[in-house]
Amino acid sequence: MVAYFAVPGVANGVWLARIPAVKEGLHLSDGVLGVALLAAPAGLVVAVPIASRIMHRAGSRRPTIAGGICAALIPIAFGFAPSLAALMAALFGFGLTGGLLDIGMNSQAVLVERAVGRPLMTSFHACFSSGALAGALLGGAFAWAGIGAAVNFTVVDIPLAGVAVLASRWLIDDKDGNEAGPTALARPAGPAQRDGNRGSGPGLAPPPGRAAGPPDRDRPAAGLALVLMAVLATCSLLGEGAADGWSAVYLRDNLAASAGLAALTYAGFSVAMALGRLSGDKLAAHFGAGRLMRCCGLTAALGLALALLSGSPAGAIAGFTVFGAGLSCTFPLLLSAAGNVNRDRPSHGIARVAGSGYVGMLAGPVLIGGLASAFGLQRALVVPALLALVVAAGAGVLTPRR
């Protein structure tokens, strides 16, 4: 499972590092490039509901394998794209297969959590963040050496596809998304599994610290829980998208920071996200997912408030770093809980929550840009801080009902 979270992270990191080279090769303006880049998130949003249907019929193992291989290989087309249309088609395919992989690997992660009987989701997402950082460094190294984007993608992405193929043997062979196969069931059940397993097959109890969700017979409550989780995911990823697109701009334009200093803002945010996710599972097991979610929301709100009120580049960088630490565990916690709302179909809940979150990430930079035009960027960035408080207020949805 670690490999399937790291592979898309590395592929995405290399792509982000080589965007300037692709832009220059196709002679694209900033505006045209901005439009082209929307193709990938559009494919991601389109893929989410389709992926849920596919996995209901075929389980999550085979779509995860297919998505991992395609997500590794499709970026090669970015370097060889002869035109804007070809680049956008490749980006749409990258987003489409990325969405399939995302739902599949998170569904697999839920099954792994049940099999081992402890939280693992935030650690898996930390592997994605670490992979993205490694990919960005690889892409930067190739660019510094003067190696073309096409060669860069080919040299990195073909071995990535090989990793996805080799790692497929350790995926759980589920059927209709409702039961773990022999790979998981061969492991001895721990105390948490023996005590918590009720009616879902051996070894599939929800891990401690996670919300198992309402029982299947309580469909209205389950539906309401998923709706609330989807809202919280939208709030969380909208804040992440706002930091992606506007944190460096805020330092550059509002605080008159240098370009290099402004770039450190997002670097601090990203590192804090990765480190927060590495520690999230232990915190969730100790304090419970609901308490951790509430603390994360409050931390994110306080961090962004610090960034907006400090008035200095150093204070803003520290504030955005704290903001990243606060947001780090929120989305993985929601995905883990959503996968256990309907225990027979983990991909169904994950797709609904993830799809709403991706819409928030896509809309975040656009929303902040519109509000900044009307009220100024500093006031516009108050919105993600308020949404972080919404995340903290809604954290009770992750607390298992007695």
Weakest-pLDDT range from 121-125, 131-135, 308-312: 131-135
What is the DSSP-derived secondary structure letter of residue 149? Answer: H
Band the pLDDT of 164: cuts 50, 70, 90: very high
> Is the pLDDT score of 260 beyond 60?
yes
d(CA 115, CA 52): 22
DSSP codes, 63-128:
HHHHHHHHHHHTTHHHHH--SHHHHHHHHHHHHHHHHHHHHHHHHHHHHHHHHHTS--HHHHHHHH
Residue 222's CB is within 10 A of a number of other CB atoms, namely 17
What pLDDT is stored for residue 24 in this prediction?
A: 87
Strand, helix or coil at 322?
helix
d(CA 63, CA 138): 28
Are 339 and 119 within 8 A, CB to CB? no
> Is the pLDDT score of 63 beyond 70?
yes
Phi, psi of 66 (to 5 degrees): -60, -45
d(CA 82, CA 14): 19
Q: Residue 353's closest CA among 229, 235, 239, 237?
A: 229
Phi, psi of 6 (to 5 degrees): -75, -35
Q: How far is CA 249 from the centre of its chain?
A: 23
Band the pLDDT of 218: cuts 50, 70, 90: low
**Side-chain-side CA neighbours of residue 319 (13 Å):** 25
Q: What share of the chain is helix, strand, coil (3-state, %, to 5)?
A: 80, 0, 20
d(CA 14, CA 26): 18
> Is the pLDDT score of 249 beyond 70?
yes
What is the average per-residue pLDDT within 340-367?
84
First to last CA, the chain: 31
Q: Residue 4's closest CA among 47, 60, 44?
A: 60
Band the pLDDT of 134: cuts 50, 70, 90: confident
Band the pLDDT of 28: cuts 50, 70, 90: confident
Task: Give residues with Cβ within 8 angstroms of 215, minimum separation 6.
Answer: 222
What is the DSSP-derived secondary structure letter of residue 351? Answer: H
Are 146 and 287 within 8 A, CB to CB? no
210 vs 275, more confident: 275
Residue 378's CB is within 10 A of a number of other CB atoms, namely 15
What pLDDT is stored for residue 241 in this prediction?
A: 84
Structure tokens at 317: 């960088």
Are 78 and 22 within 8 A, CB to CB? yes
What pLDDT is stored for residue 152 in this prediction?
A: 93
Band the pLDDT of 191: cuts 50, 70, 90: very low
Q: Residue 174's closest CA among 109, 96, 230, 220?
A: 109
Band the pLDDT of 72: cuts 50, 70, 90: very high
Residue 299's CB is within 10 A of a number of other CB atoms, namely 21
Are 315 and 307 within 8 A, CB to CB? yes
What pLDDT is stored for residue 220 in this prediction?
A: 62
Q: Is 38 exposed, middle or buried (0-12, 13-18, 19+ CB in 10 A)?
A: middle
Task: Give residues with Cβ within 8 angstroms of 34, minimum separation 6.
Answer: none
Note the pLDDT tens digit of each residue in 44-57.
888 888 888 888 88
Predicted TM-score of the model (pTM): 0.78
> Is the pLDDT score of 187 beyond 60?
no
Angle at 218 between CA 289 and CA 345, to 5 degrees: 65
390 vs 358, more confident: 390
Note the pLDDT tens digit of each residue in 82-102.
999 999 999 999 999 999 999
Q: Which domains occur in the chain, in start order?
A: 2-186 (1.20.1250.20), 219-398 (1.20.1250.20)
What pLDDT is stored for residue 401 in this prediction?
A: 59
What is the average per-residue pLDDT within 216-228?
73
